[in-house]
Chains A and B, each alone.
Chain A
Amino acid sequence: MPRSLLTSGSSLAFVIAMAACPGVASANEELLRLQQDPNQWVMPTGDYANTRYSALDQINKDNVGDLRVDWTFSTGVLRGHEGGPLIIDGVMYVHTPFPNNVYALDLNNDGQILWSYKPTQDPDVIPVMCCDTVNRGVAYGDGMIFLHQADTTLVALDAKTGEVKWSVKDGDPTKGETGTSAPMVVKDKVIIGNSGGEFGVRGKVTAYNTQTGEIAWRAYSVGPDDEMLVDPQQTTELGKPIGENSSLNSWEGDQWQIGGGTTWGWLSYDPELNLVYYGTGNPSTWNPVQRPGDNKWSMTIFARDADTGMAKWVYQMTPHDEWDYDGVNEMVLIDRPINGQERKLLVHMDRNGFGYTLDRETGELLVAEKFDPVVNWATRVDLETGKPERDPRYSTEANGEDVNTTGVCPAALGSKDQQPAAYSPQTGLLYVPTNHVCMDYEPYQVAYTAGQPYVGATLSMYPPEGEDNLGNFIAWDPVAGEIKWSIPEPFSVWSGALATAGDVVFYGTLEGYLKAVDAQTGEELYSFKTPSGIIGNVTTYTHNRKQYIAVLSGVGGWAGIGMAAGLTGDTEGLGAVGAYKSLDQYTQLGGTLTVFSLPD
């Protein structure tokens, strides 16, 4: 072919492409590509589907035992380090808890700091963060790094220079509204949720234009239909229209205005269906007697149109919560056959101890089974009605105010909290960090004061009767609804998992161990004790064609509340030797990134 023809043909193709996509390249296309590139780790969730799966296999089950620490980085911050770094084009972006510093590290130059961003925030926000000043990570899109600060500021930083492009305030921290969740960039929008369910904050999710910071849409979890972006006829629950005033009718009076349903967990996105998925948190207060009704749409899985925010379907897992079982855990989007038919599925391991599998297009409930056998507040979930069948013995509502309901499993921190699971398409299994903790729960009257804790219950937590491990790391079959294997851990597993094509699964422990286990059997293949307890999420990437594993350590968060004390076994009949375990005998504070690789 003559050279000139080739040139003109390419130019023509280029012109057509430009005409089809005016302006800058869409973040959607770039992110769609990058999230499938295993050499990068471009979003906190690994990919839009929240699988935390990597196709890398240099490090595999045969050689992972040779893993060693390659380099480390101190964040300079002591409090709980959740989330994990992003790795994009030879730069690693590391975030910290409050004060929410961000560092860009040059992987081509021995991790030298290219730029750092250190926001100034009013320290008044510290005490209105219920469970430590955690932050679950930054997001990338359109050449920018998006940081969701504790004081609810969303700031866009130039990924190359750290320069502030724009910043907006999402909420009001003086009323207890804070930011802990990681943003997600979808097309030309950056989406965030809010925190503050223990302060009577009204939950919402907001999409901002990535270029300007202007609000594209905002959807509340509770309240009038138009403010929730629901359509009484088009929005469905288990296939049926939700009807008018579905939320208002499920609350008494104006309680919904301080009704919680915050959205501090993870977002997922299905590009084909153009739906964004997330869960809502507990209704407030923790005293169920003070808020009669189903308290919709707290404790709910939402599927929303990414462009308009309009809800396509909802499913409320725990109507009228009585135990603080927030529904915010990640939605893992997988494609698997069920009864011989390939289905687009959404898998969600809820705080309430049930592992749910739904059709993510329609919201049909397919599987709901306990992923910890000790779960006792409900006997089962009816797949037709979607309702849990509660055991009245563990109903804090039925037992009433000022009565201590004992032996409820799971505890308020749930059978699993925000620490995200990983899914391997090779094994078809979900790898789930779990808590194995029960509680006593006594609700009582509280008064609402803006900006003050609005809790209304006393809790004490302890291991299940006759056991002394407070956590398990499990492999879960999301189609069968069964545990495949389970590794007991002395403490709750509060670290996000990573599954790889090397047939290895990684997770961290509260004592500070990074562990690698066989994806098929759960056999431990590697363990290394990092400087502090791990509540961060494990990531992997390549640099100069070599695979690395990275994790933040730095104990804290919900898990840190009981750290110095350990959990008590004061409930009669427990007497487990391990019940008085104190985490501070194993680890101390300090934020460090540890990066592992195989020897050359």
Chain B
Amino acid sequence: MFPYRSFLTVAALCGGSFALGAALIAPAAFGTAATPTDGAESEEKPYSIAEDGTVDWATYNGYRRYNSVCFQCHGPDGLGSTFAPALVESLKVIPYEQFLEIVVNGRENVTTATESKMPALGADPNVMCYINDIYAYLKARSDGAVGRGRPAKHQDKPPEAAEAEDACMG
């Protein structure tokens, strides 16, 4: 699914201790692990959707995990809230590497007019163990490939996903 990038990084992160994981994925280390791209347009689609609307497991799981750890600020279905941007729009602009960098390290925008802050989530297994799923879901939303709400039909959970989850969540 992500031939040249982060699956390895995330697997390494999730396999070890999370304190170590957070250090591993600090910007410098991350920069060497990931290959810069020209932008979001050049990326291969991280999701797959069958003709009858059945979404792959990653996209479906991304929907679930988004609603656990992102929804509280970024609103339902990635559409934004009064205090955090709409990720369906953001992902039209920012490439995967930048997405991951912001999730891991957070971002701050505190001025006299606004006070918003994205936390650093690099040490949170509930986020990092599923970050590629969350990305797949949001990219599908951003591309208009899946609509609002819970995808009606989805692939069963593949054994590899279950194994990866167990290994990552510990």
Contacts and interface: CB of A to CB of B under 8 A. Distances in A.
Nearest to A451: B119
A565 B64 CA distance: 18
A561 interface: yes
B68 A446 contact: yes
B40 interface: no
B72 interface: yes
Interface string B64-106: 1101110111011101111100100000000000000000001
A570 B77 CA distance: 11
Contacts of B72: 130-131, 198, 453, 455, 561
B118 A565 contact: no
Nearest to B157: A402
Contact of A127 (B80, B119, B123): B119
Contacts of B125: 447, 449
Contacts of A570: 147-150
A458 B63 contact: yes
A565 B88 CA distance: 11
A452 B110 contact: no
Nearest to B86: A564
Interface in A403-451: 404, 440, 442, 444-447, 449
A78 B113 CA distance: 8
A555 B69 CA distance: 23
Contacts of A322: none
B114 A78 contact: yes
B170 interface: yes
Best-surrounded residue of B80, B81, B110 (most CB of chain A within 10 A): B81
B18 interface: yes
Contact of A453 (B79, B80, B124, B169): B124
Nearest to B79: A565
Contact of A589 (B64, B80, B82, B121): B82
Interface string B120-144: 0101111100000000000000000
B170 A460 contact: no
A567 B124 CA distance: 28
Contacts of B106: 127
B115 A452 contact: no
A458 B64 contact: yes
B117 interface: yes
Nearest to B68: A455
Interface of A: 77-80, 98-99, 123-124, 126-128, 130-133, 198, 404, 440, 442, 444-447, 449, 452-461, 555-556, 560-565, 567-568, 570-571, 589
B64 A444 contact: yes
A560 B82 CA distance: 5
Query: Is the interface on chain B under 10, 10 to 19, 20 to 34, or 35 or more residues?
Result: 35 or more
A457 B65 CA distance: 8
A535 B106 CA distance: 29
Given A127-B106, A449-B18, A449-B123, A568 B68 contact: no
Interface of B: 18, 63-65, 67-69, 71-73, 75-77, 79-83, 86, 106, 108, 110, 113-119, 121, 123-127, 147-150, 169-170
Given A123-B108, A460-B67, A133 B115 contact: yes
B117 to A, nearest CB: 4
Nearest to A569: B149
Contacts of B73: 127, 561
Given A452-B126, A563-B81, A458 B75 contact: no
Among A128, A457, A561, chain B packs the most CB atoms within 10 A around the CB of: A561
26 contacts: A80-B82, A123-B110, A123-B117, A127-B73, A128-B119, A132-B83, A444-B68, A445-B169, A446-B68, A447-B170, A449-B125, A454-B126, A456-B126, A460-B149, A460-B150, A461-B76, A561-B73, A561-B75, A561-B76, A562-B76, A562-B81, A565-B75, A565-B80, A570-B149, A571-B149, A589-B82
A460 B75 CA distance: 11
A445 B63 CA distance: 15
Given A446-B126, A453-B69, A460-B150, A127 B118 contact: yes
A124 B150 CA distance: 32
Contacts of B63: 458
B123 A126 contact: no
Contact of B117 (A126, A555, A556, A589): A126
Given A132-B82, A133-B83, A565 B77 contact: yes
Given A123-B110, A458-B63, A460-B149, A560 B68 contact: no
Contacts of B82: 79-80, 132, 555-556, 560-561, 563-564, 589
Contacts of A455: 68-69, 72, 126
